[in-house]
Amino acid sequence: MGTVEKISVALPPDMVALVREAVESGEYASTSEVIREALRAWKFRRKVETLEVDELRELLRQGAESGPGVDADLVFARLRAKYQTIAQ
């Protein structure tokens, strides 16, 4: 595992119970292992969220560069009128 540093973490009783349960069930060898996996999952989720934000920024940039916008109320009014005519 390389170099490790010991830290102290305070957890609420329900989380402590979950961690201990995972170790006692044999799913993990130690409480440290449970916490390391939880931190890896947290790190991964943060990376995904960052990628999603970057993708949204790119989509916004593309939209802004695609030309002038159209008033949504006008578009929906036209669509309602069109489909009302078709429904009759």
Q: Give the total number of structural domains in the chain.
A: 1
Check: CB of residue 22 under 8 Å from CB of residue 28: yes
**Would 5 be classed as within a structural domain?**
no
**Would 8 be classed as within a structural domain?**
no
Check: CB of residue 20 under 8 Å from CB of residue 34: no
Q: Rounded to 5 degrees, what are φ and ψ at 14?
A: -65, -35
Mean pLDDT of 2-10: 90
**Would 27 be classed as within a structural domain?**
yes
Position 38 scores a pLDDT of 97
Position 65 scores a pLDDT of 93
**Would 2 be classed as within a structural domain?**
no
Please work out, in degrees rounded to the nearest 5, the angle formed at the alpha carbon of residue 72 by the alpha carbons of 71 and 78: 100
Beta carbons within 8 Å of 28's beta carbon, 6+ residues apart: 22, 34, 37
**Would 4 be classed as within a structural domain?**
no
What is the reported pTM?
A: 0.59
Residue range(s) defining the domain that contains residue 53: 13-87
